[in-house]
Amino acid sequence: MAISSACFFFFLCSLFLSHGVLELEASHHVDQNLQVSSTTPSKYQPYRTSYHFQPPKNWINDPNGPMVYRGIYHLMYQYNPKGAVWGHIVWAHSTSTDLVNWTPHDPAIYPSQPSDINGCWSGSTTIMPWGTPVILYTGINPQNQQVQNLAMPKNLSDPYLIEWVKLPNNPLMAPSSLNQINASSFRDPTTAWLGPDGTWRVLIGSKTDRRGLAILYRSKDFITWIKSQQPLHSAKDTGMWECPDFFPVLINSKLGVDTSTLGPDVKHVLKVSLDDTKYEYYTIGTYNPDKDIYVPDHGSVESDLGLRYDYGKFYASKTFFDSLKNRRILWGWLNESSIPADDIKKGWAGVQAIPRTIWLDKSGKQLVQWPIAEIEKLRGQQVHLPQQVLKGGLSLEVSGVTAAQADVVISFKVSDLGKAEVLDPSWTNPQALCSKKSASVKGSLGPFGLLVLASKGLQEYTAVFYRIFKGQNKYVVLMCSDQSRSSLNNNNDKTSYGAFLDVDPVHEELSLRSLIDHSIVESFGGGGKAVIAARVYPTLAIDGKANLHVFNNGTENVKITSMSAWSMKKAQIS
Ligand code: DQQ
């Protein structure tokens, strides 16, 4: 152990007792006129969620510093206390005993010292080996430079960790002419990890020119941080790396491990959020703690055309190790598809995804995610469809479920794959392919899947579906979430999203689970091998007027092998 707990606290206490302006370059659109919304939010709120996390009003973005402490889960997140657009950012704070129902508290971290007076941006919690949580976060100083600060709980016997105190000698890491760090591209510290040499390491997202960087700092005492000559990893042409996340995963196990775990049965994951495109990507690879470098596995694609946790609207995500249940949990921000003027009218913007358990697939080539099991306790009335063949061109309506607030699980089996359409070798981008071949474009094996948030006359619906193609030497399964008909309001972003799914339709069923929550459709394909979250704003398919269908718009029959849908109860969130 580098430092003992007593020593660490003595050091911190003694620090507590002693004691040129950049244009603010934010990663979010800043509109000074809109930053404090003047309109009164509408009373009519058909799009607020029932079981996805959101505060009562205002703008939210990145999840920050998630952790479990003394049996209580903590979610902090970027929040504008003054309006429904980005600005005036603080760390809002809620706690939970089950990751489903939440109690709000006062903001944990808000501007109060020179090193964060212009904003408290994203960061992470590290649990010290003796159990104390410590936050590292990005502060915006009076010169609008991005610097890294430390905060720790005021009262460790309070499991809710209501009050946080900042180190008076913040910042601990800052850009300077010596370290050549770009002061407007230096943010979002990861959870730190402790190396076998007893030294802490942490990553900060950055860039030089168009090269994305995970800058590495090391510290013996968590206070004095020295920048390493080399970043842990970097990749050309990726632009600014926001919210990096770096963690170990076990080979051949679904269990999560502490962020400092190393060993022969461990691989590492590096995820970055790309400021330029607002998509994320991750690679799986090997971490060498002696050289402090990370090398992605051969064949990894270093761009958002590579592996993604979520192929839809999902950004600035962060994982934490849940030591209560030995799992790693992923949180992500489901950003908006509505325009700022509509956000101001409704009085809020942004929601958090359902927390997902995340682990390494048995292939070792990708991660798998699944909604935390706890969410199932919100399942109420269940509807079940018997096994049946759904003929080409037909659809069937599922009644008896609250279709605007539901958890739907369905599996399909296709027996005659001979008729699969040939995959054109130029169709390499699944998102582009889903736009080209929307749900209304007839195929042979697909499109088949779900029409969710569908209006009575099908003027509006969001289609989540599969198509099966014949590739060069195997069948290729495409999963799409098609928002092109999701709303009659044309202000909304209706991009269709897609992913190729690593399942073998010859031997495996094609499963699909959609969590529907008024303005959210969060879909898990192939048991969580591909996930697509969508934000939709139907104008007709609202509350009791929303319907659910299973459809097959291909020429070939598909078999529904199982189907259950549950009305979801409301969680206590705000
Ligand atoms: N959001 C924060 C930044 C981060 C960005 C500011 C990602 O710290 O880079 O609200 O969404």
pLDDT digits (tens, 9 = 90+) for 258-269: 999 999 999 999
Q: How far is the CA of 35 from the centre of ligand 1 (A)?
A: 16
Nearest by Cα to 308 from 257, 358, 362, 375: 358
Residue 441 has pLDDT above 50, yes or no: yes
- 340 versus 31: the higher-pLDDT residue is 340
How crowded is the C-beta side of 430, counted as CA atoms within 13 Å? 29
- What is the residue with the minimal CA distance to atom 10 of ligand 1? 121
Q: How far is the CA of 180 from the centre of ligand 1 (A)?
A: 21
Task: Give the position, in ligand 1's atom list, of the atom nearest the Cα of 123.
Answer: 8
Catalytic residue among 31, 62, 361, 517: 62
The confidence score (pLDDT) of residue 17 equals 33
Q: How far is the CA of 242 from the centre of ligand 1 (A)?
A: 7
Q: How far is the CA of 115 from the centre of ligand 1 (A)?
A: 17
Task: Give the position, in ligand 1's atom list, of the atom nearest the Cα of 273.
Answer: 7
Q: How far is the CA of 121 from the centre of ligand 1 (A)?
A: 6
> In a mutational test of the pocket of ligand 1, which residue from 121, 137, 148, 184 has the highest number of ligand atoms less than 8 Å from its CB?
121
Cα 112 to its chain centre, rounded Å, is 29
Q: What percent of the chain has pLDDT over 70?
A: 93
- β-strand 462-470 against 421-422: which pairing, if any? parallel
> In a mutational test of the pocket of ligand 1, which residue from 58, 187, 336 has the highest number of ligand atoms less than 8 Å from its CB?
187
3-state secondary structure 171-207: CCECCCCCCCCCCCCEECCCCCEECCCCCEEEEEEEE
Task: Give the position, in ligand 1's atom list, of the atom nearest the Cα of 121.
Answer: 8
Residue 5 has pLDDT above 60, yes or no: no
Residue 80 phi, psi dihedral angles, 5° rounding: -100, 105
> In a mutational test of the pocket of ligand 1, which residue from 122, 273, 274 has the highest number of ligand atoms less than 8 Å from its CB?
122
Residue 151 has pLDDT above 90, yes or no: yes
Q: How far is the CA of 122 from the centre of ligand 1 (A)?
A: 6
Residue 35 has pLDDT above 70, yes or no: no
Nearest by Cα to 535 from 523, 551, 527: 523
Per residue in 75-111, pLDDT (tens digit) is 999 999 999 999 999 999 999 999 999 999 999 999 9
Q: What percent of the chain has pLDDT over 90?
A: 91
In this structure, are residues 265 and 360 in contact, taking their beta carbons and an 8 Å threshold?
no
CA atoms of 439 and 417, how far apart (whole Å): 20
Per residue in 156-186, pLDDT (tens digit) is 999 999 999 999 999 999 999 899 999 999 9
Q: What is the mean pLDDT of the chain?
A: 94
Q: How far is the CA of 448 from the centre of ligand 1 (A)?
A: 37
Q: List residues near ligand 1 (CB under 6 A).
A: 27-28, 61-62, 78, 89, 121-122, 138, 187-188, 242-243, 273, 315-316
Per residue in 196-235, pLDDT (tens digit) is 999 999 999 999 999 999 999 999 999 999 999 999 999 9
Per residue in 322-352, pLDDT (tens digit) is 999 999 999 999 999 999 999 999 999 999 9
The confidence score (pLDDT) of residue 41 equals 76
**Tokens at 534, concatenated:** 């969508």
- What is the residue with the minimal CA distance to atom 7 of ligand 1? 316
**What percentage of the chain's residues is helix, strand, coil (to nearest 5)?**
5, 45, 50
In this structure, are residues 301 and 281 in contact, taking their beta carbons and an 8 Å threshold?
yes
Residue 246 phi, psi dihedral angles, 5° rounding: -135, 120
Residue 367 has pLDDT above 50, yes or no: yes
- What is the residue with the minimal CA distance to atom 9 of ligand 1? 242
- What is the residue with the minimal CA distance to atom 6 of ligand 1? 121
- What is the residue with the minimal CA distance to atom 5 of ligand 1? 27
Q: How far is the CA of 120 from the centre of ligand 1 (A)?
A: 10
Task: Give the position, in ligand 1's atom list, of the atom nearest the Cα of 138.
Answer: 8
The total of other beta-carbon atoms located within 10 Å of residue 540's CB is 17
Task: Give the position, in ligand 1's atom list, of the atom nearest the Cα of 62.
Answer: 11
The confidence score (pLDDT) of residue 177 equals 86
Task: Give the position, in ligand 1's atom list, of the atom nearest the Cα of 26.
Answer: 6
Q: How far is the CA of 567 from the centre of ligand 1 (A)?
A: 35
How wide is the angle at C-alpha 521 spanned by C-alphas 331 and 341, nearest 5°?
A: 85
**Tokens at 115, concatenated:** 């090193």
62 is catalytic: yes
Task: Give the position, in ligand 1's atom list, of the atom nearest the Cα of 122.
Answer: 8
Task: For each of the domains in the chain, give its residue range(s) and CATH number, in order of start.
Answer: 5-30+59-371 (2.115.10.20), 381-568 (2.60.120.560)
Residue 402 has pLDDT above 90, yes or no: yes
- What is the residue with the minimal CA distance to atom 11 of ligand 1? 316
Residue 30 has pLDDT above 90, yes or no: no
> In a mutational test of the pocket of ligand 1, which residue from 25, 28, 275 has the highest number of ligand atoms less than 8 Å from its CB?
28
